[in-house]
Structure 1
Amino acid sequence: MSTDPPAEPAGPGTAGTVDPVARRRGVLLLAAVAVTVLALDLVTKIAAVANLEDRAPLTVIDGFFYLTLLRNPGAAWSMATGYTWILTIVAVVVVGVIIRIARRLASVGWAVGLGLVLGGALGNLVDRFFRAPGPMRGHVVDMLAVFSPDGSVFPVFNLADSGIVCGGILLVLIALRGIEIDGSRVADQRG
């Protein structure tokens, strides 16, 4: 029988450990953000298909913002259209990686950023699996256009894409500030 005192919960940044309460909060925040992005993406895609199918683009702000329906088999600007199945696999891997690293998550910023990316990846995965022409080949529904209604200036996108891009930018900014996923800060190496 051991006489060692019970271990104290580790705070953010303690070598190899994450405070379980901070981790739980981080994972819940990540999940809440991801579910919100996914739900908003699904609702807007359903509305776009119901209201924009077989219609000319709707001008919201002339010369700047339009609503139009585009079924995209590829990535931005319809790149990699013949590789929809590869894009699907990449998205599945991204989801898996985010779920795996969530075990160390104790930073609010990382939780929000990863939640945005996760929600966006799941939103586009739903299309890849459940929309025509079939599983792992489905075309993603895009409906938001800036500068031109046909996507010739900037690609037509959806809320899932916005979540991925905004989450990615947030994660880069957090990393540049030296904040680790567990909430600790990178030690100043300039010596």
Structure 2
Amino acid sequence: MYWIIILTLGVDQLFKYLVRNFMDYGQSISIINGFFQLTSHRNTGAAWGIFAGQKIFLISFAIIVIVIGLIYCRKVTDKLTRIAFGFFIGGAVGNVVDRLFFGEVTDMFEITFINYPIFNTADVFLVCGVILFFISTYKEKIRE
């Protein structure tokens, strides 16, 4: 699990570094015309901008969730659950790093065919972790 956290954090911070250093704020690069683009954006809040400007609250909440996840995962032996927590914790740490060092989170993925908030790699890993956790929980229920 720890190597997944480190890998996830590394990938997340690399993408954010590239966006911060090689794109102007607000600049968009079309990847799939009319569907998906890279857009340099910053967010001082959480998803959909909720809790905007509440840096201390967001960092504190994330650290609590990370610690609880690490404590819980030490007791877990299921491989899929440990991978899920690795993705989730790595994503959470990625966004905490941004808030600590930059005061905001760097976002870059924009789905243009729907009105959806711009998000980042840490968010992708967080969501993948949650989905894998639900799958592992469902598989466990089937085995019972």
TM, length-normalised to structure 1: 0.70
Aligned residues: 144
Q: What's the offset of the Cα at 1:140?
A: 0.4
Greater RCO between the two (CA within 8 Å, min separation 6)?
2
Deviations 1:53-107 (A, max 9, x none): 2463111111111111111001122121032322111110111011111221211
Counterpart of 1:50 (choices 13, 16, 21) is 21
Q: Distance in 2 between matches of 1:54 and 1:122?
A: 23
Which structure 1 residue ranges, 4+ long, deviate > 4 Å from structure 2? none
**SS of residue in 2 equivalent to 1:178:** helix
TM, length-normalised to structure 2: 0.92
Determine the structure 2 residue equivalent to 1:182: none
Q: Which runs of 5+ in 1 are unaligned?
A: 1-29, 132-137, 180-184
Q: Distance in 2 between matches of 1:103 and 1:56?
A: 42
Per the alignment, do residues 121 and 55 of structure 1 end up closer, same or farther by CA in structure 2, a change over 3 Å counting? closer
Q: Distance in 1 between matches of 2:123 and 2:26?
A: 23
Q: CA RMSD in A?
A: 1.7
2:25, 2:41 within 8 Å by CA — same for their partners in 1? no
Q: Distance in 2 between matches of 1:55 and 1:79?
A: 20
Per the alignment, do residues 54 and 139 of structure 1 end up closer, same or farther by CA in structure 2, a change over 3 Å counting? closer
Alignment partner of 1:92 is 2:63 = yes
Q: Distance in 2 between matches of 1:54 and 1:143?
A: 10
| Larger of the two Rg values belongs to structure | 1
Please list, as runs of the form range in 1=range in 2, the aligned pairs for 1:12-161 lying within 5 A after superposition.
Answer: 30-54=1-25, 56-131=27-102, 138-147=103-112, 153-161=115-123
